Amino acid sequence: MATDSWAQAVDEQEAAAESIGSLQLKDKPEENGNYVDPDKAAQSLLNKLIRSNLVNTTNQVEVLQKDPNSPLYSVKSFEELRLKPQLLQGVYGMGFNRPSKIQETALPMMLAEPPQNLIAQSQSGTGKTAAFVLAMLSHVDPNNRYPQCLCVSPTYELALQTGKVIEQMGKYYPEVKLVYAIRGNKLQRGMKLQEQIVIGTPGTMLDWCSKFKFIDPKKIKVFVLDEADVMIATQGHQDQSIRIQRMLPKNCQMLLFSATFEESVWNFAQRIVPDPNIIKLKREEETLDTIKQYYVLCNSKEEKFQALCNIYGAITIAQAMIFCHTRKTAGWLAGELSREGHQVALLSGEMQVEQRAAVIERFRDGKEKVLVTTNVCARGIDVEQVSVVINFDLPVDKDGNPDNETYLHRIGRTGRFGKRGLAINMVDSKMSMNIMNRIQEHFNKKIEKLDTDDLDEIEKIAS
Ligand SMILES: Nc1ncnc2c1ncn2[C@@H]1O[C@H](COP(=O)(O)OP(=O)(O)OP(=O)(O)O)[C@@H](O)[C@H]1O
């Protein structure tokens, strides 16, 4: 099943990362002299940063939507995108006033006749989900009671989240029904689905198309791959997605979306999608200016923990996500924070998927202010109140090189749709400093040092 292969992939990645992590701890930074004992100044700094940077109002989104350089800018209104009246009602019901750039650009391509394929990249939190959800809802024929659109997501949590968007957007279009092809949703053998849209993870979706035949793939009109680059780059997902694709009719519309597409993945996507329309960002456009990036220099895992405790009050003004390399570190960190009396949630790959969904739901409802997690939560998760992302460990691939795509997705959990956000990277060795520098070079975007010792400097950053 998909979730198994995902868990396995995460396992392997985490195991690789674990060994790198232990190396890092032995390898102390040269800049010991620079080490700043985490102190109260940190709290004051963070408070200031958060207050001055994270204030957000609907007005601010309005302003950004009028700025031609913003990814939220659009010249069109939703009416001009010629959506069905029921969908327009759904869009406005969700509180959307204007489309974002990706919605404005992608929707006309996706709604054109005859249908056209699309590979689209747009920054995290800029409304890709709404774009492909509107495309699916526009293409289904509610009079036909069989699946017509398939949407595949890499994780159970994301499939649920996207399903919710379909439900909200389709609120005034009740004839269109949705079903979740996810682990645990057991259907009776031999049954045929009547729902027009199926959202799920790749393994279950494949089983429902081929093994159980709940879905007739020949009747599918739209096939969406969300987080398409990870679907292509992860072997298990790629096999399953390509096997589904092969069962679909030649004229089925293929829509691939992600915030990141590494070059080789981009090339592969173009090979598997016939004659696609393309929306691609330049490298320097990939990072959002609304997310301010900093690093904190420490000497060890324990010092990183101490630094984190000092800024804890500040990061919990809103909500925060803390990313670790491995399940083990995440478990350790959540345990230590709890022992200090902080209420934190933990989400990592070995938990049951239903348990994971429940943790996300509690976090989304604000029941916990801090979520400690691994890369399993790096992508797609949309919790508006997340104002701070902390990389307790910087993201690296299995060879120990910087994982730039994961970095971008992780920090993109904040700064959603025009909100401001802070990303704080904890550096504890020469090796992690090097990784951070390479990430900085890759995106050509300065990551500032958060010098918690120097109040003057702190004032400067905050203002
Ligand atoms: N036109 C719009 N106006 C206002 N808010 C919007 C609009 N489109 C989307 N949003 C909101 O912006 C947030 C981010 O959107 P979404 O999750 O679709 O981003 P994304 O591009 O898919 O991000 P990621 O790359 O992280 O998956 C959501 O909370 C969504 O409800």
Among 129, 158, 204, residue whose Cα is nearest residue 377: 158
- Give 453 or 269, the one with higher predicted confidence: 269
Per-residue pLDDT tens over the stretch 131-146: 999 999 999 999 999 9
- Across 175-200, b (16+ Cβ under 10 Å) vs e yields ebbbbbbbbeeeeeeeeebebbbbbb
Q: Is the CB of 183 under 6 A from ligand 1?
A: no
Looking at the structure, tell me whether residues 338 and 214 fall in a common domain.
no
pLDDT of residue 140: 97
> Any idea what the CATH number is for the domain that residue 82 is in?
3.40.50.300
Q: Is the CB of 65 under 6 A from ligand 1?
A: no
For residue 114, cis peptide bond before it (omega within 30 degrees of 0): yes
- Rounded average pLDDT over 84-97: 94
Q: Is the CB of 156 under 6 A from ligand 1?
A: no
State which of 129, 168, 258 you would mutate to test the pocket of ligand 1, scoring each by most atoms of that ligand within 8 A of its C-beta.
129
Beta strands in 315-369, from DSSP E residues, in sequence order: 319-323, 344-347
Choose one of 232, 263, 281: the last residue of a domain: 281
Taking the C-alpha atoms of residue 315 and residue 388, their distance in angstroms, rounded to an integer, is 6
Atom of ligand 1 nearest to the CA of 259: 25
Per-residue pLDDT tens over the stretch 197-214: 999 999 999 999 999 999
Residue 14 forms part of a structural domain: no
Residue 333 forms part of a structural domain: yes
- pLDDT beyond 60 at 51: no
Q: For residue 15, give every residue at least 6 positions away whose Cβ sits within 8 Å of its Cβ, in sequence order, or none.
A: 326
Q: What percent of the chain has pLDDT over 90?
A: 60
Q: Is the CB of 410 under 6 A from ligand 1?
A: no
Looking at the structure, tell me whether residues 200 and 276 fall in a common domain.
yes
Looking at the structure, tell me whether residues 140 and 185 fall in a common domain.
yes
Q: Tokens for 254?
A: 């293929």
Looking at the structure, tell me whether residues 105 and 205 fall in a common domain.
yes
Beta strands in 201-240, from DSSP E residues, in sequence order: 222-225
Looking at the structure, tell me whether residues 305 and 224 fall in a common domain.
no
Measure 43 CA to ligand 1 centroid, in angstroms. 31
- Rounded average pLDDT over 256-285: 89
Looking at the structure, tell me whether residues 306 and 343 fall in a common domain.
yes
Residue 15 forms part of a structural domain: no
- Decide: residue 398, CB within 10 A, 0-12 exposed, 13-18 middle, 19+ buried: middle
Question: Atom 25 of ligand 1 has which residue's CA nearest to it?
Answer: 124
Asked if 146 contacts 216 with a C-beta cutoff of 8 angstroms, the reply is: yes
Q: For residue 260, give every residue at least 6 positions away whose Cβ sits within 8 Å of its Cβ, in sequence order, or none.
A: 121, 229, 286, 404, 405, 408, 409
Residue 44 forms part of a structural domain: yes
ipTM over 0.85? The verdict is yes
Question: Atom 1 of ligand 1 has which residue's CA nearest to it?
Answer: 99
Residue the block writes with tokens 């993945």: 265
pLDDT of residue 24: 28
State which of 286, 383, 417 you would mutate to test the pocket of ligand 1, scoring each by most atoms of that ligand within 8 A of its C-beta.
417
Instruction: Note the helical H segments in 248-286.
Output: 263-272
Q: How many domains does the chain divide into?
A: 2
Measure 55 CA to ligand 1 centroid, in angstroms. 18
Identify the sign of the CA torsion 151, 161, 337, 311.
Answer: positive
Residue the block writes with tokens 């800018």: 73
Among 215, 162, 153, residue whose Cα is nearest residue 183: 153
DSSP 402: B
Taking the C-alpha atoms of residue 384 and residue 414, their distance in angstroms, rounded to an integer, is 7
Q: Is the CB of 419 under 6 A from ligand 1?
A: no
State which of 134, 382, 387, 406 you would mutate to test the pocket of ligand 1, scoring each by most atoms of that ligand within 8 A of its C-beta.
382
Looking at the structure, tell me whether residues 255 and 356 fall in a common domain.
no
Looking at the structure, tell me whether residues 271 and 252 fall in a common domain.
yes
How far, CA to CA in Å, does 10 sit from each of 17, 149, 377, 380? Answer: 10, 28, 11, 16
Measure 126 CA to ligand 1 centroid, in angstroms. 5
Taking the C-alpha atoms of residue 224 and residue 240, their distance in angstroms, rounded to an integer, is 14
Question: Atom 16 of ligand 1 has which residue's CA nearest to it?
Answer: 127
Taking the C-alpha atoms of residue 275 and residue 433, their distance in angstroms, rounded to an integer, is 42
For residue 295, give the 3-state DSSP assignment: strand
Question: Atom 3 of ligand 1 has which residue's CA nearest to it?
Answer: 96
Q: Is the CB of 125 under 6 A from ligand 1?
A: yes
pLDDT band at 358 (very low <50, low <70, confident <90, very high): very high
pLDDT band at 289 (very low <50, low <70, confident <90, very high): confident
Looking at the structure, tell me whether residues 273 and 335 fall in a common domain.
no
Dihedral angle, C-alpha 91, 95, 100, 104, nearest 10 °: 20
Measure 72 CA to ligand 1 centroid, in angstroms. 10
Looking at the structure, tell me whether residues 298 and 210 fall in a common domain.
no
Choose one of 281, 307, 339: the last residue of a domain: 281
Per-residue pLDDT tens over the stretch 416-450: 888 888 899 999 999 999 999 999 999 999 999 88
Residue 216 forms part of a structural domain: yes
Asked if 370 contacts 328 with a C-beta cutoff of 8 angstroms, the reply is: no
Asked if 2 contacts 201 with a C-beta cutoff of 8 angstroms, the reply is: yes
Residue 95 forms part of a structural domain: yes
pLDDT of residue 16: 35
Q: Tokens for 413?
A: 């959990």
Looking at the structure, tell me whether residues 297 and 274 fall in a common domain.
no
pLDDT of residue 50: 58
- For 407, the domain range is 291-462
DSSP 366: T
Residue 21 forms part of a structural domain: no
Residue 19 forms part of a structural domain: no
Choose one of 252, 281, 310: the last residue of a domain: 281
Looking at the structure, tell me whether residues 78 and 207 fall in a common domain.
yes
